[in-house]
C-alpha cells in the first residue's frame, strides 16, 4: 500500500533555502515536511567556503552592493529584485546570528572580519573561517531538529509533482484550474514510491552543475527542481548562464574540492606553470575580476599552453594568516601533499552555479499556483548573466523569508484566493503504478548514459561554445532522452534513473537557451557571436510551446 503523507507545506530540498523556509513556516505554527535526497546536510550549502555578501562596514553601502551586483550581471539583472534582496541583507544576517551562526570577528575590534571577492568593490563578505556554508548548514539543521511540527525525511527523492489535472474529482472553487498539491517521492533506502500531499509546495533542490564532468558541486546537484517544474508546465529563464568557478583543486584524489575566491581576495595570485602572472592580459582587476572573466582567462591559457592546470599561490603571505583564514583549505591540501604556506596550488575551472532556473515572482511563486521555487532552483533576476560572488546564500535566505510570509498569509486567510482554495470531493490521488514495469537487469546503461552526458556537456557546452558544438550536444541529448524515456517506461524507478532523467532534461534546456542567444554575454561566451547585442533580454523557454527555440521573448521578466 502506498504511504500517503499530508502537511501544510512540502519543501523539496534541505539546503540553506529549504531549511530556512521550513524554520520560518514552522515557527508560524504550520506543519512542514522537508525532503532530502541524502543526509540533511548533503546539499551544496555546506560546501560554500567564501561566505555571505552584505554591506555591513561603515564605508560600504547597500547602494554599492547593488551596483556591483548589476555590473557582474552584465545587463540581465532585474533591478527591483536586486534591490529587494540586498536591502534585506542585514535582516537575514541577524536571523542567522539568532540561529547560532558565529561569523568571524577581528581579534582586536568589535566588528566582523570581512573578505573581498571578485567583482566586489569593498570588503563585505561575512564568513566563518573558510567553512561558512558548513556553519550555516549546521545551525539550520540544529534548529530544524528542535521544531516538533517540522518533519525531516532523509533519503527521499522527488520524482514528479502532482497537479490538478492528474487528480480526478478535485475542484478549485468549482473550476478546473491547475494547482500543485504534492509530489510522488521515491524512498531510496526502503524502495517504493510514496505520496506527499500539501497545500503549498516549495522547490529548493539547488542547481544542476552535475550535468558537467568537472564540478565543485556534490553528487545531488542534478537539477531535479528545475526539471520537475518544467514538466509541470513552468517557464524557465537564462539556463545558458552556467557559472564556472575559476579555482577548483586539481588533484586525482581531490574530487570536487573548491579553492575559495577569498584566497584571491586575501592576496592569492594566479600563475602559469613557469610562475608568470597572466591576469593583467585580461582585466585590470587582475585576480579579482568577476568569475566569468577569470574562468575564461584560465581556460584560454590552459588551451594555449596545452597544460592540465594552472596555479594559485598565496604562499607569499604570512603562514599564520593563511592558517587563520583558510584552515579547511590548508588541511585538505596537506592531506594531498600540498603545503599552501610554501607552494602554489594546482587549479582548474569547474562548473559551480546555475544562474538561471524556474521563473518566479517577487514572492517566489512559479507559473503553477501552489508551487514555489527558491535558491539556486529559481530565477529571481538577482544574478542576470553572472552571479556576483557570495550572493547565493543571501538570495536563499531572503526568498526563504519572502516565501514563508506569503504562505503564512495564504494559510491564515479565511477566504483564500481561487488558486489557493482546494476542495476535495474524495481522496483520489492515484497510487504510483508499477504493475507494468519490472526490475532492471541493465543498470550499466544508466552509468554509461550518465558518463556520456557529462562528458559531451563539458566538451561542447562549457566555458567556450560554438554553434557547431551546441548542435552536436543537442543531437546526443535527444538520443539519450529517448533511451531514458524507454528505460523509465519499462523499469522500476531508482535514484540513478530519476537523477539521469532530470539531468538530461536540464541539459536540453541549457543547450536550447544557449542556441537562442546570438551574442556573448556574462557566462555565455560563443566564438560565433563574440559581441553583445543591446538591449539585453532574458532567454525564456515555455513548455507550452511546440518548439521552445521559437520562444525568445524579447522583454523583461513578466
* CA angle (125, 357, 399) in 5-degree steps: 50
Q: So what's the pLDDT on residue 166?
A: 55
The residue out of 413, 434, 452 marking a domain boundary is: 413
Both 398 and 461 in a single domain? no
Residue recorded with cell 535527444: 478
Cis peptide before 210 (omega within 30 of 0): no
Final residue before a domain boundary, out of 393, 413, 433: 413
Contact 177, 369 (CB under 8 A): yes
Q: Could you tell me the sign of the dihedral formed by the alpha carbons of 331, 333, 335, 339, in that order?
A: negative
**CB distance 94 to 30 below 8 Å:** no
| Domain match, 469 and 542 both | yes
Identify whether residues 36 and 129 lie together within a single domain.
yes
Indicate whether 555 belongs to any domain: no
Do 234 and 252 have their domain in common? no
Shared domain for 34 and 160, answered yes or no, is: yes
Burial (CB count within 10 angstroms: exposed 0-12, middle 13-18, buried 19+), residue 540: buried
364 and 263 housed in the same domain:
no
Question: CB of 78 within 8 A of CB of 380?
Answer: yes
| Nearest in space to 64 (alpha carbons), one of 87, 92, 81 | 87
Same domain, 44 and 193: yes
pLDDT in tens, the chain (558 residues): 678 999 999 999 999 999 999 999 999 999 999 999 998 888 778 777 779 999 998 899 999 999 999 999 999 999 999 999 999 999 999 999 999 999 999 887 778 999 988 889 999 999 998 789 899 999 999 999 999 999 999 999 999 999 976 555 555 444 556 899 999 999 999 999 999 999 999 999 999 999 998 888 888 899 999 999 999 999 999 999 999 989 999 988 877 788 988 899 899 999 999 999 999 999 999 998 888 889 999 999 998 999 989 999 999 999 999 998 899 999 999 999 999 999 999 999 999 999 999 999 999 999 999 999 999 999 999 999 999 989 999 999 999 999 999 999 999 984 444 444 444 433 578 888 776 777 766 667 788 898 999 999 998 999 999 999 999 999 999 999 998 888 777 778 889 999 999 999 999 999 999 999 999 999 999 999 999 999 999 999 999 754 433 333 323 233
Helix axes 79-87, 89-98, angle to 10 degrees: 40
The answer to whether residue 425 is domain-embedded is: no
3-class DSSP assignment, residue 495? helix
Q: Clarify whether residues 341 and 361 are in a common domain.
A: no
* CATH code: domain of residue 503: 1.20.58.100
As annotated, the active-site residues are: 291
> DSSP states of 82-147 as a string?
HHHHHHTHHHHHHHHHHTT----B-TTSSSB-EE--TT-SS--EE-STT-HHHHHHHHHHHHHTT-
CATH code: domain of residue 101: 3.50.50.60
- 292, part of any domain: yes
Residue 506 lies in a domain: yes
Is 558 part of a structural domain of the chain? no
Assess contact for 52 and 125: CB atoms under 8 A.
Answer: yes
Asked if residue 428 is part of any domain, the answer here is no
147 and 281, same domain (yes or no): no
Could you tell me if 535 and 402 lie in one domain?
no
Predicted local confidence at residue 219, as pLDDT: 86
Domain, as residue range, for 363: 4-240+355-413
The verdict on residue 74 lying in a domain is yes
- State whether 19 and 48 are in the same domain: yes
Instruction: Give the number of domains in the chain.
Output: 3
Task: For the beta carbon of residue 527, count every other beta carbon within 10 angstroms.
Answer: 12
Q: Which residues pair with 112 in a beta bridge?
A: 105
CATH number for position 342 = 3.90.700.10
Choose one of 302, 326, 352: the last residue of a domain: 352
295-301, Cβ contacts within 8 angstroms, sequence gap of 24 or more: 295/243, 295/244, 295/245, 295/246, 295/349, 295/463, 296/463, 296/464, 296/525, 297/246, 297/270, 298/246, 298/247, 298/270, 298/347, 298/348, 298/349, 299/244, 299/349, 299/462, 299/463, 299/464, 301/272
Check if the beta carbon of residue 374 is closer than 8 Å to that of residue 237: no
Question: Do residues 45 and 94 both lie within one domain?
Answer: yes
Cα–Cα dist 412/401, whole Å: 16
434 inside domain: no
Rg (CA), the chain: 23
Amino acid at each position: 500500500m502506498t504511504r500517503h503523507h499530508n502537511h501544510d507545506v512540502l519543501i523539496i530540498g534541505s539546503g540553506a533555502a529549504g531549511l530556512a523556509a521550513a524554520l520560518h513556516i514552522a515557527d508560524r505554527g504550520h506543519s512542514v515536511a522537508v525532503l532530502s535526497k541524502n543526509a540533511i546536510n548533503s546539499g551544496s550549502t555546506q560546501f560554500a567556503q567564501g561566505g555571505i555578501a552584505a554591506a555591513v562596514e561603515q564605508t560600504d553601502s547597500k547602494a554599492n552592493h547593488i551596483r556591483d551586483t548589476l555590473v557582474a550581471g552584465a545587463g540581465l539583472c532585474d533591478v527591483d529584485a536586486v534591490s529587494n534582496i540586498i536591502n534585506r541583507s542585514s535582516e537575514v544576517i541577524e536571523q542567522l546570528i539568532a540561529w547560532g551562526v558565529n561569523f568571524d570577528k577581528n581579534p582586536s575590534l568589535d566588528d566582523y572580519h570581512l573578505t573581498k571577492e571578485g567583482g566586489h568593490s569593498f570588503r563585505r563578505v561575512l564568513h566563518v573561517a573558510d567553512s561558512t556554508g558548513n556553519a550555516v548548514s549546521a545551525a539550520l539543521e540544529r534548529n530544524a531538529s528542535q521544531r516538533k511540527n517540522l518533519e525531516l525525511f532523509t533519503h527521499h527523492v522527488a520524482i514528479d509533482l502532482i497537479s490538478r489535472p492528474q487528480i480526478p474529482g478535485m475542484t478549485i472553487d468549482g473550476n478546473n484550474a491547475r494547482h500543485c498539491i504534492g509530489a510522488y517521492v521515491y524512498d531510496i533506502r526502503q524502495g517504493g514510491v510514496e505520496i506527499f500531499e500539501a497545500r503549498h509546495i516549495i522547490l529548493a533542490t539547488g542547481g544542476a552543475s552535475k550535468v558537467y564532468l568537472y564540478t565543485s558541486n556534490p553528487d545531488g546537484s542534478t537539477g531535479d527542481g528545475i526539471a520537475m517544474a518544467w514538466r509541470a508546465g513552468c517557464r524557465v529563464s537564462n539556463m545558458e548562464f552556467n557559472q564556472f568557478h575559476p579555482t577548483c583543486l586539481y588533484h586525482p584524489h581531490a574530487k570536487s574540492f573548491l579553492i575559495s575566491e577569498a584566497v584571491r581576495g586575501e592576496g592569492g595570485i594566479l600563475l602559469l606553470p613557469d610562475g608568470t602572472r597572466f591576469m593583467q592580459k585580461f582585466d585590470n582587476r587582475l585576480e579579482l575580476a568577476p568569475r566569468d572573466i577569470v574562468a575564461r582567462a584560465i581556460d584560454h591559457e590552459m588551451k594555449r599552453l596545452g597544460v592540465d592546470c594552472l596555479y594559485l599561490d598565496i604562499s607569499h603571505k604570512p603562514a599564520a594568516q593563511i592558517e587563520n583564514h583558510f584552515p579547511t583549505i590548508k588541511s585538505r591540501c596537506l592531506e594531498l601533499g600540498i603545503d599552501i604556506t610554501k607552494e602554489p596550488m594546482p587549479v582548474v575551472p569547474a562548473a559551480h552555479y546555475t544562474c538561471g532556473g524556474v521563473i518566479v515572482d517577487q514572492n517566489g511563486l512559479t507559473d503553477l499556483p501552489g508551487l514555489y521555487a527558491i535558491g539556486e532552483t529559481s530565477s529571481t533576476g538577482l544574478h542576470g548573466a553572472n552571479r556576483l560572488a557570495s550572493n547565493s546564500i543571501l538570495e536563499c535566505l531572503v526568498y526563504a523569508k519572502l516565501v514563508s510570509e506569503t504562505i503564512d498569509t495564504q494559510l491564515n486567510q479565511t477566504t483564500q484566493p481561487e488558486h489557493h482554495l482546494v476542495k476535495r470531493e474524495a481522496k483520489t490521488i492515484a497510487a504510483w503504478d508499477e504493475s507494468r514495469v519490472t526490475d532492471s537487469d541493465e543498470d550499466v546503461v544508466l552509468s554509461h548514459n550518465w558518463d556520456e552526458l557529462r562528458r559531451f556537456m563539458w566538451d561542447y557546452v562549457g566555458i567556450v561554445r560554438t554553434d557547431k558544438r551546441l548542435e552536436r550536444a543537442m543531437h546526443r541529448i535527444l538520443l539519450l532522452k529517448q533511451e531514458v524515456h524507454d528505460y523509465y517506461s519499462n523499469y522500476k524507478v531508482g535514484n540513478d534513473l530519476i537523477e539521469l532523467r532530470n539531468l538530461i532534461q536540464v541539459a536540453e534546456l541549457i543547450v536550447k537557451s544557449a542556441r537562442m542567444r546570438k551574442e556573448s554575454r556574462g557566462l555565455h561566451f560563443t566564438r560565433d557571436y563574440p559581441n553583445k547585442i543591446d538591449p539585453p533580454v532574458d532567454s525564456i523557454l515555455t513548455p507550452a510551446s511546440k518548439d521552445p527555440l521559437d520562444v525568445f521573448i524579447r522583454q523583461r521578466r513578466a
